[in-house]
Amino acid sequence: MGNLSGLLVFLLTVYSVNSLKCYVCSSTPSNEHCNRNAEECQAPLDTCMTTVDILGEVKAIVKQCSSLRTCAGAAGTASLDASGNGNEVTCCSSHLCNFSTAPTIQLCTWLLSLPLCLLILLIKQDG
């Protein structure tokens, strides 16, 4: 039991000390311009969020630190019409994971929930 408690404390410490770093930009027309600036996300922002607004040949890319809830909500309402106009939102949770604007970037929820799973395991063993 002591080993599991120690592991949990260690993982929670590492998880909170190593804050997430994301590329950030504000309404930039190209991904290359967006990837010139990286920022360390401040708690409770735990997700890199990329929004691509498309209107014909014009793109506006916004990258920022976000909360998982905000990013997931925005991704759930994002859509493109038959002409390819609209917006795409992608979420990810590893360092500088929002390098690309490709919609294949997926949220690594298992990494975000690892400390919670370990805590639940610890509580079940006590009970």
Residues 8-38 have pLDDT tens digits of 445 554 444 568 999 999 989 988 888 999 9
CA distance 35 to 4: 40
Q: What's this model's pTM, rounded to 2 decimal places?
A: 0.66
Please indicate, yes or no, if residue 103 is contained in any of the structural domains.
yes
- Residue from 101, 97, 110 nearest 21 by CA: 97
DSSP state at residue 80:
B
Given a cut of 90, is residue 96 above it in pLDDT?
Answer: yes
Q: Which residue has the higher pLDDT, 116 or 66?
A: 66
Q: Write down the mean pLDDT value for the chain.
A: 80
Number of domains composing the chain: 1
Please indicate, yes or no, if residue 77 is contained in any of the structural domains.
yes
Please indicate, yes or no, if residue 126 is contained in any of the structural domains.
no
pLDDT at 122: 73
Domain hosting 97: range is 2-121
Please indicate, yes or no, if residue 127 is contained in any of the structural domains.
no
pLDDT at 123: 76
Please indicate, yes or no, if residue 6 is contained in any of the structural domains.
yes
Please indicate, yes or no, if residue 60 is contained in any of the structural domains.
yes
CATH of the domain at 75: 2.10.60.10
